[in-house]
Structure 1
């Protein structure tokens, strides 16, 4: 084929075909003037960058009798071209970086960590309330005044509530929660 014919065959401009010829990206026929179409197409298919390729002529894609593009061989969920795969990868990396930045800045936190820490905090509060009777039994047994017994119980509940409030505040500040031994 001539340069113009090959340009029409490839769907590109004559100047682009001349540039590929000058760069040695085309295989010429033995006469040195015409382009060997089969060999040149094979060479370009092997050496072309698929990301930079594509039809830039602006012609509409061919369609079948039902109006569907014939270029689509398989459903989109079964087959992803290189550009789409690269776009998805960049998008996934950007989203991961955004989440990581939010986590580092303290604006975001992992939900499983919050669930675990909240469960631990509630379990500690319930355990302290459960043991309150054995802790206060001697003091309560020594008291004969019901109001004094009530005050002992209220004071212990207030102390446990204050410890849990401090632990909850420490949880929101990303500091370690105080343990029972430290309290």
Structure 2
């Protein structure tokens, strides 16, 4: 007698010896192949996908359960215990965890590359350098009344005062620009 091509989720759980909640988890994890309407399970495809996505770290548990069933030593799992199920780990999905680990490893490598290429800098170093630059600029601006007042007091023409102030602003801005260019090096 051949197995039907599709079965309900409950029938699949019974046939495979899984808990119904485990079948629900398989659906959630994308490890169960359903018919287009999502109501029935494609048996052969689902078994193949479960095998393909099986967590290799749980193989010893599956082997131990299978050996207990063969030996008939009361280690027979109940019909709602899958043979490859280890103690439950909250929302553990081996393939998703592996994909996330590889994704973040790739991001770390990308960051290292961008640092070596000079595109990225360590934030704390940049903050320290920026604080130094702003401190120098503030000090320069705070000294202007003491240094410029004596120079500008005898000047009568407004145009000369403006030119002298513009020169001091330009000197300060050039100093800041030079310090910023040193940050990238």
TM-score, L = length of structure 1: 0.46
Structure with bigger gyration radius: 1
